[in-house]
Structure 1
């Protein structure tokens, strides 16, 4: 495989590890988060970098990236917020702008790829979360109910597990102790879908793919992300039924980013074969 394509695979792995570290530090184990960050740094050292002359005014991109990262950190420190996926993508966009601004051959391409991924995620987040919320468009709850909760409940019933829908995003799961589980927020799987859309879109732009191929691959990314999330939610149901809510929450913390890493790698493999 060409070095540039290896670099893109490395940057995707770094993204998955960094996303996992953020989730672990906010919801799981701080130690696991630190280990994932160290692994991301280790993967970063595998990147092949070739120097080239700097482009005129390229430092502006790097400056914007640094300001973006500092602003996000300052805001979260002031508001005493925990870092989340949105912060991760802001950091990733800022870091990608810095890398792109350095204008180092191969490395600049990674920066451009990172810009496409993070900017696509933030654009979709603004539409489906911020804009729809401001306009009182109840898309997220309806999506969670009709496209996540109802399909997964139908599958769970096939396993003979007693489950009942009690609200738009809430189910009652039977067992020794009846459990109430809310299927919403991260369980919608939209974050992973946004990231995979950004990966395919960025790759297609960098590789100058035809529009029809880009749209076809974007469709594949959406379907794969959707099915992967349904599988994740079903696994959480089964875990809760057999092992209890505490175990389910542990699995919930770790499972999402691991599936994302596997799916993102599979998507990149598909892109390479399709190209």
Structure 2
């Protein structure tokens, strides 16, 4: 692990842990805490639910890398996964995942692992039929090729990776800037964006937290990283809807519409 990778990874863990209390105070947390008592409850939107269903989630041993509070890991069980494992380096969010698992009828089929994704336990290797990466995870990764190689190592031969992410083009814009529709950053920006704002997504005013490092990755970085990790791209689809913070809703429904998010499906080589 390079010094910068190590620095960014440790910093982001501290930032997420410091922000966890804000998520517990939200209406969304209360909705999840009561909702998961229903075996059919899921936090997936129709796009995520459809692509997972179409790529063998039912009956699968599934893993989510960067699971946050476990809501989507548990949602995979509601959609028919045989077992679901969530991995995250924030012990504060893994603790929240434990609370949600405790109220879920599917809780016995869920596991949560608190670990640095660049140093996962060997026991997880090649144990899963399907891996899921969702909104924002890739941008917290300072070494994207290495991260995708780790994700690939979790899959059995023929296993599938499903990514549902914000589009890299969106990182060019600052929705709360003076001119939110003019590019504020280069698509090819190499240096991370470092901020000491709390990590919140509901539009509330952020307090201060330890600095977090947000990385810029192009679509080419993602696709090439998958291929070099031994994953064969099966589908890449872009969408005009936003799955990011509410501030980004200003980019929805414009005449000159940006791609705002995408899904990517890739299969691990081998039989």
TM-score of the superposition, structure 2-length normalised? Answer: 0.26
Q: Which of the pair is proportionally richer in helix?
A: 1
Q: Higher Cα Rg: structure 1 or 2?
A: 1
- TM-score, structure 1 length as denominator? 0.26
